[in-house]
Structure 1
Amino acid sequence: MADQDLIMKRVGEGIELSQRGDREAARGLFAEVWEEIGGERGDPFHRCALAHCMADVQDDVQDELLWDRRALEAADMVSDERAAAAGVSSVEGFYPSLYLNLGECYRKLGDYDQARQHLAAGRAAVDMLPDDGYGRMIRGGLQRLEERLCEPDQPADAEEFRPS
């Protein structure tokens, strides 16, 4: 577990870099960790967390979408036992945020049908979220995505929202 804790510690360091506005350094750190875990062959929990964070620091929406897809694909492979070993009660709690992020990508790309499908999937999974600050943030993000999709003439990059 020490190696796994080290991976998540480094992911946390990348998040801190991003929050301080150093997206380039965060991308670099996330890329290093991605290689260390074996990329697509790595532990699904690590891949999911890392890809989810890597998507947040992309400058190009196509790159963001690629990482968001990787995060969702990896989440589908994470068992509740593996999540529990990492201190997460259930993998089901990952999905609302993952679907929200994918929906935002598709909205920015102008693919409103895909955006609505991911919004619906996020809404269907939202009951797994706790009633806390994080849960309210994701619910609010889903609500804002729905509002933006009701006004598709809005610029694709209007009021970008990236929960993580």
Structure 2
Amino acid sequence: MEFSPFNNVIKLCLQGMGMEDKDMPEEAAKLFMQAWEEAVDDHEKFLAAHYVSRHQKTSADRLKWLETSLEFALKINDDTVKSALPALYLNISKCYEELGDAEMSKKNAELALELKNHPSDKGPFYHGTKAHLQTGDLLTAGGISNYKSELKMNHIYFTALISGAGLAAALAKGDGVEHVYIVEPTGAYENDPNVTDKKFPGNPTRSYRSEMPLKIIGEAKEWTKPNPEDLQRFREKLGDSKGEIIN
């Protein structure tokens, strides 16, 4: 399931997060509960329960909602949802610790660590750039960030969403033609910590990074370029961002 900000439950969760940012927790809690009540499938219920859990007054109630979120997440064979499992298990572990159950806390913490170090996503994977490359070429870490020109990147980044690679190509430095290459990791890779668990649980954009090279195995010919208005809004958002890039 591809993450969509146009989904009604996701829109309610976004509104709830907006209330949190304005330090209006009661209004946020109402919106998250509305999202739960309007959720109709396992994915929507997983998301809504996650946000409802954040506004519970006791560890026991928070644990109940987190385990509800986990129950629905485990029903879904989807890499976007699987990427949320490490944080879910870690939050459940903290609740058990607060409730004095050391054994269950340890068990869930171990599950969180195991899943965090082994992303389940098998692709296909894409990398967007303006560089003209050939099949068999290797993309390596050490390039300059598209978002902070003074930053030399320690990882090479890629995604399992072709639309995300298209956006990266549009934002890439240079005046060349935008390319979306199909790539294959040559070593271990991890969830991109710059997006994972920042707003939504897990890694909904299926964004990854590796210290090892990516091998180009082809070029995607059919992908949708972001329209100029959306691209400008994204550039403005990046310009206003005060956050640090985890490198």
TM-score (ref. length: structure 1)? 0.68
2:193 corresponds to which residue? 132
Runs in 1 of length 4+ with deviation above 4 angstroms? 1-4, 134-138
Q: Deviations over 1:58-82 (max 9, x none)?
A: 12111111110011001011232xx
**Aligned length, in residue pairs:** 126
Cα offset for 1:29?
1.3
Structure 1 CA distance for aligned equivalents of residues 94 and 21 of structure 2: 20
CA distance in 2, matches of 1:113, 1:106: 8
Cα distance 1:66–1:134, how it changes in 2: closer, same or farther (>3 A)? same
Superposition deviation, residue 132 in structure 1: 2.3
Out of 80, 89, 92, the residue aligned to residue 102 of structure 1 is 92
Match of 2:77 in 1: 79
Find the partner of 2:102 among 112, 121, 126. 112
Larger Rg over CA atoms: 2
- Residue in structure 2 matching 1:49, options 12, 30, 47: 47
Matched AA of 2:18: E
SS state at 2:75 partner: coil
Q: CA RMSD in A?
A: 2.6
Q: Distance in 2 between matches of 1:136 and 1:13?
A: 17
C-alpha contact (below 8 Å) 2:5/2:11 kept by paired residues: no
User: 1:14–1:30: 8 Å Cα contact kept in structure 2?
Assistant: yes
The amino acid across from 1:112 in the alignment is: A
Aligned residues with identical type, % of pairs: 25
1:8 aligns with 2:6: no
CA distance in structure 2 between the aligned counterparts of 1:74 and 1:66, rounded to whole angstroms: 13
Q: Distance in 1 between matches of 2:69 and 2:114?
A: 18
Aligned residue number for residue 64 of structure 2: 66
Which residues of structure 2 form unaligned runs of 5+? 120-189, 202-247
